[in-house]
Chains A and B, each alone.
Chain A
Amino acid sequence: MKRFLPNLLRLAALILLIAFLVHPELFEPLLKPLVQANAPAIYNQGSLLSLTLSHLVTVFTATFAATLVAVGLAVLVTRPVGAEFLPLSRSLVNIGQTFPPVAVLALAVPIVGFGEKPTLIALFLYGLLPVFENAMTGLSTLPKAIVEAARGTGMTAWQQLTRVELPLALPVILAGIRLSVTISLATATIGSTVAAKTLGEVIIAGLQSNNLAFVLQGGVVVAVLAVLIYDAFSAVERALARRAGRV
């Protein structure tokens, strides 16, 4: 019963979200009171659905690339070969996280110009940090006895990594990816200030024309997406952790 109610709420949120994206006009009466008499209550400069999809594509492309690179680097610095890079990696992660996403975005523009690219780069760079940090933590805090046993049973270094270390670090790595996705979902909206096609367009259009309904729908869609994705990741992590007895 305790699990049931939140799941019902999530399902309801998902259905409402899809309904809103496919048939936003159905929700017009709800948003009408927020705008002046003659202003549109539903975003009318493009399709909300396609903006949402391109928002998601941008976020997932960046996060996917960031995950590949970050996990690869974390594997490298936790091997004996890469041990010399470990102290530096730790401090780079620390320093990197002090860079505000807006600054990363703004600094990417002079290098690659306007559009999706600076957004992708900013999201990629910013997404690297949480995944790298968690992957490094996950891989370097495995119980010694287990790593020792993997070696003792005659696994090659590659087998140890793929069969024991990565599967065991997976819940921690997933937590990093989850953080990275959630930050990226929100940061991607800022990408629209440099002409990326994301839900930020709706919000910025609302800010420019003083249309509260626009701001609200853009913001709420992103927030609901973030909550749903966050919860989905948490559920997978919990399932994995429970199986591995690390509850």
Chain B
Amino acid sequence: MIEIENITKRYGDNTVVDTVSMTVEPRTITVIVGTSGSGKTTLMRMINRLVEPSEGMIRIDGADNRSIPGYELRRHIGYAIQGHGLFPHRTVAENIATVPTLLGWDKKRIAAKVEELLTLFQLDPAAFGPRYPHELSGGQQQRVGVARALAAEPNILLMDEPFGALDPVIRAKAQDDLLAIQKHFGTTIVLVTHDMEEAFHLADKIAVMDKGRIVQCAAPEEMLVNPATDFVETLIGAEERPFRLLSIGTAADAAEAGEAQGEPIAASVSQREALSSLLWSGREALPVVGADGASLGRVTLAGLARRAARPQ
């Protein structure tokens, strides 16, 4: 759990983050969105004290984050950034081993961890471990960057526009991987982005920042229904609302009892994708199947239309 209390950051006369308070629940994903210069990155960097606050306090699992030196704090908080920041003079394995080495783990434990993470991120340890970062593709580098952040099994992972440098196809895959990893480790994630699509796809809670303040912090559905200010409404994009609403839930949630003909839809895809498949196939309904292939019922155009409508 991360508790942020009345945190403020000033550079000279310029207040970048202005008395912000918020709480991040354990094992959730909180996405901070805002325009550039809104202070979202600074707010996140105060959690691991890459930036020292001017006023206020941040507690991590109940303890003031200033109770230990900054560098020790950062060894226990994962940190992944845009453009990955991999050390070019170290191999992939050495990069991932960075924090465990700083923490003084023994060699065997480090090697095992590196192998586990590489496998988890679908990179063959024998092939990729000894390579240097510049020998990897952008998507692979990004995965190694996240693997490095997770190497010391942190409870908390901070991510600063982690997918910003990726092309759309790889980005979608990286986002899905992140969701899977978060489930796997139960990590608390705080992610900064300016991509609303990404925010709605990933977030349990979205915090919208504007001019150094949090204007709304709420679950995605809540934010769609009751945007706190005009700014939030503009950021969401009025014409996108029904689709954003659909992109929050999965096809499994929308499944109704009944049969349908046609190419089945996977239970894990978003309702938005399900709608897209329905429209493209020209059918009123399509079957939904689980990962094991068992039928879960069907999704219908009418059913999705009801879900996309403004909740009463």
Which residues of A approach B to under 8 Å, CB–CB? 143, 145-146, 148-156, 159, 164, 167-168, 240, 243-246
Cβ A168 vs Cβ B102 within 8 A: no
State whether A245 touches B135 (Cβ < 8 A): yes
Tell me whether B133 and A153 are in contact (CB under 8 A). no
B76 CB contacts on chain A under 8 angstroms: 154
Check B88 against A153 for contact (C-beta < 8 Å).
Answer: no
Number of interface residues of B (CB under 8 A): 30
| Cβ–Cβ contact B132 & A153, under 8 A | no
B2 within 8 A of A: no
Residues of B close to A143: CB separation below 8 A: 85
Closest Cβ–Cβ distance, residue B305 to chain A (whole Å): 45
Given A152-B48, A243-B132, A146 contacting B88 (CB threshold 8 A): yes
* B133: contacting residue among A152, A159, A245, CB under 8 A: A245
Within 8 A of A (CB), among B123-172: 132-135, 145, 148-149, 158
Binds A, one of B4-12, B66-74, B206-214, B246-254: B66-74
B98 touches A153 (CB 8 A): yes
- A residues in contact with B74, CB < 8 Å: 151-154
Q: Are B132 and A245 in contact (CB under 8 A)?
A: yes
A141 and B102 alpha carbons, distance in the complex (Å): 25
**Given known contacts A154-B74, A154-B75, A154-B102, is B134 in contact with A149 (CB within 8 Å)?**
no
**Cβ of B299 under 8 Å from chain A:** no
B residues within 8 A CB of A246? Answer: 88
What residues on B are CB-neighbors of A155 within 8 Å?
A: 71, 102
* Contact indicator per residue, chain B 55-81, by CB within 8 Å of chain A (1) or not (0): 000000000000000011111110101
Q: In the complex, what's the smallest C-beta–C-beta distance from A236 to chain B, in angstroms? A: 14
Closest to A160 in B: B71
Docked-complex contact A168 and B88, CB < 8 angstroms? yes
List residues of chain A with CB within 8 A of the CB of B48: 152
Alpha-carbon distance A243/B132, docked complex (angstroms): 7
Nearest residue in A to B85 (C-beta to C-beta)?
Answer: A149
Q: A-B contact count, CB below 8 Å?
A: 73
14 A-B residue pairings within 8 Å (CB atoms)? A145-B82, A145-B83, A145-B84, A146-B88, A148-B85, A149-B79, A149-B84, A149-B145, A150-B87, A153-B75, A153-B102, A153-B149, A159-B71, A164-B89
Can you name 13 extra interface pairs (CB under 8 A) apart from A143-B85, A153-B149, A243-B132?
A: A146-B86, A148-B81, A151-B71, A151-B74, A152-B81, A152-B85, A153-B79, A153-B102, A164-B89, A167-B89, A168-B88, A168-B89, A245-B134
User: Is the CB–CB distance between B81 and A154 below 8 Å?
Assistant: no
**Chain B, residue nearest A171 (CB):** B89
* Complex contacts, B203 vs chain A, CB 8 Å: none
Q: Which residues of B contact A159 (CB under 8 A)?
A: 71, 102
Cβ of B129 to closest chain A Cβ, rounded Å: 15
- Taking each of B73, B77, B102, B135, which has the highest tally of chain A beta carbons within 10 Å of its own beta carbon? B102
Q: Contacts A153-B148, A155-B71, A245-B134 hold; do A146 and B99 have CB atoms under 8 A apart? A: no
Do A164 and B87 contact each other (CB < 8 Å), given the known contacts A152-B79, A154-B102, A159-B102? yes
Q: A244 to B87, alpha carbons, bound, how many Å? A: 8
Whether B87 pairs with A146 at a CB distance below 8 angstroms is yes
In the bound assembly, the distance between CA atoms of A164 and B132 in angstroms comes to 15
Task: Report how far A82 CA is from B81 CA in the complex, Å.
Answer: 28
Q: How many Å from the CB of B74 to the closest CB on chain A?
A: 4
A246 to B88, CA, bound (A): 9
C-alpha spacing A146/B79, complex, angstroms: 12
Q: Answer yes or no: B179 CB below 8 A from chain A CBs.
A: no
Q: Which of B50, B79, B88 has the most CB of A within 10 A?
A: B88
8 Å CB contact of B71 from A156, A168, A240, A243: A156
CA distance A245 to B133 in the complex (A): 8
Instruction: Establish whether residues B71 and A154, one from each chain, have CB atoms under 8 Å apart when the complex forms.
Output: yes
Closest 3 CB pairs of A and B: A245-B134, A149-B85, A154-B75
The smallest beta-carbon distance between B161 and chain A, in angstroms, is 11
Task: Name the distance in Å between A223's Cβ and chain B's nearest Cβ.
Answer: 34
CA A246 to CA B132, docked complex, whole Å: 11
- Min CB distance, A21 to chain B, in Å? 38
Q: Which residues of A contact B148 (CB under 8 A)?
A: 153
Across-interface contacts of A153 in B (CB, < 8 A): 74-75, 79, 98-99, 102, 148-149
Q: Is the CB of A243 within 8 A of B102?
A: no
- The reply to whether B50 and A152 contact each other, CB–CB distance below 8 Å, is yes
Contacting residues, chain A, for B73 (C-beta < 8 A) = 154
